[in-house]
Amino acid sequence: MDRSKQIALGLLILACFWIFTGNVQSSRPVENDVLSKHDRHEDVIIQTRVSHAQTIEKTLVLAGHVEPHRTVTIKAETAGKVVGIPASRSQRVKTDETLVQLAMNDRKARLKQAEAELRQRKSDWLANVKLQQKGLRAKTNVLSHEALVAESEASLAQIKEDISNTQIKAPFAGVLDQRPLELGDFVDRGDSVAVLVDDSQVRISVQVSQHHLAAIKSGQRVTARLVTGEALTGTVSYIAHLADKETRSFRVEVQVSNPDQKPWLGLSARVELPIESHQAHLVSPALLNLDYQGELYVKALNSDNRVKVFPVSIIRHETSGFWVSGLPESVSLITHGQGFYQEGDQIDASSVKRLIAVTAGQEQEQAL
């Protein structure tokens, strides 16, 4: 046999061997696949956890900022030169504490003049009353002197008020935020001399959309968290009746007590406004599934150990999971092995390991 025939014979033998071994190997996966489909559920132990519904408030989370309870620009009520500034900027002051002192100038002299004039006119009035009683003066003469007495009393009260206004005082306790003057400055009536801030209480202002406004009530309890991490609790104190012309949102203010006068003013805050109450369950994100329509659902076991699918809606989320609605008050959630079963599948009792809650964050296996 020549060399070319030997090569052809060798190739034929190799081809036959490859075809034979290929048929044998291709038949084995089919057999294994049938077995795996038959025994797939046999080896899967699923875990379930009994979950009980809790009342959870659905909250509207909004960004806002802290404002003072009240701010007033104090203005001079008389003219004069600044001769004293007892209070400095950022100083905490009490009610009626002097902030700015103006020069008296001739006010004391005018006070003495007004007092003397009043005494003189009262004396004249009394003398005319006695003469009128004796029939020596007409009634109109007495009335004229009464008018002069009243005029002097008004002048005296006016100069006393003017003297009092030289001491510009705090109308309420707070912080002297601004003081745009110095010693020697001259102020006229109506000039701004100080800005006083009351931070014994603060308000957090937010903008609420027109879709959620109806759920907000005056006096409603609200929680907030400052950018510093501090948690605050307050009440809704103001709801605007007119919407913002540009955003069509409504201003809502939350009143918060600040007895320690902490420096919160101007800080950003995240406000949580409760708008609805729901019966909800806390579930891990791993238990949530998505159907072909994009709807969320979870799998659970009913009393007959059959798999049941429950469509759910997320109410709110926390670091520990999602609060969802759509489940019965008490439900046995499949926490492990849910991917191996479909709705309606019957689960053998020996394949179920049930977990029951003992305390918050702890679970133990339930005896079957």
The count of residues in the chain is 368
pLDDT at 28: 36
Whole-number Å distance between alpha carbons of 64 and 354: 45
Q: How confident is the model at residue 52 (pLDDT cuts 50, 70, 90)?
A: very high
Backbone angles phi, psi at 2, to 5 degrees: -75, 170
Q: CB 322: neighbour CB atoms within 10 A?
A: 20
User: Do 224 and 270 contact (CB within 8 A), yes or no?
Assistant: yes
Q: Give per-residue pLDDT as tens, 16-47.
A: 544 544 443 444 333 333 334 444 455 567 88
pLDDT at 20: 47
pLDDT at 87: 93
Report CA-CA distances (Å) from 351 to 46, 307, 358, 368.
6, 13, 22, 11
The dihedral built from the CA positions of residue 28, 29, 33 and 39, taken in this order, carries a sign that is positive
Question: What percent of the chain shows pLDDT beyond 70?
Answer: 83
pLDDT at 359: 32
pLDDT higher than 50, residue 239: yes
pLDDT at 24: 38
Q: Give per-residue pLDDT as tens, 79-108.
A: 999 999 999 999 999 999 999 999 999 999
In this prediction the pTM is 0.64
Average pLDDT of the chain, as a whole number: 86
Q: Give per-residue pLDDT as tens, 194-208.
A: 999 999 999 999 999
pLDDT higher than 80, residue 224: yes
Q: How confident is the model at residue 340 (pLDDT cuts 50, 70, 90)?
A: confident
Q: How confident is the model at residue 341 (pLDDT cuts 50, 70, 90)?
A: confident
pLDDT higher than 70, residue 48: yes
pLDDT at 1: 52
Mean pLDDT of the 262-266 span: 95
Mean pLDDT of the 312-323 span: 90
The dihedral built from the CA positions of residue 287, 293, 295 and 300, taken in this order, carries a sign that is negative
pLDDT at 368: 34
